[in-house]
Structure 1
């Protein structure tokens, strides 16, 4: 694959075969929840709106991950 590890978003690797192929090739994968992966950008956007758009207040509401892995 040309890299030491792949970082993927759960909606981009939703089908199990993508992860299985990486596992079969002993290629490590870090799978990140879609909403969680966008949180840093939402924090930055909130700061930008509050700093540069007069008369508009933005509030960041943390999303967090809506599920947990068991097992």
Structure 2
């Protein structure tokens, strides 16, 4: 694990200390968990945005619709078995 040094505004440091005490966790663990949640949220937003962009792309939509038709045929074949 690498050491990282940073400064925080006083009000955030007070809130961090209070939260760490309430959760009975070291401050660095609270920061680690908060940062992980934040980074995960950014990834989800990027993922959602990629779907919004794809929905506007006619070529992507055509490929998706073609793929859905094939998938539907496969499902119908499974029902016949």
Shorter chain as denominator, the TM-score bin is: 0.3 to 0.5
* TM, length-normalised to structure 1: 0.40
TM-score, normalised via structure 2 length: 0.36
From the two aligned structures, give the one with the greater strand fraction. Answer: 1
The higher-RCO structure (CA 8 Å, 6+ apart) is 1
Larger radius of gyration: 2
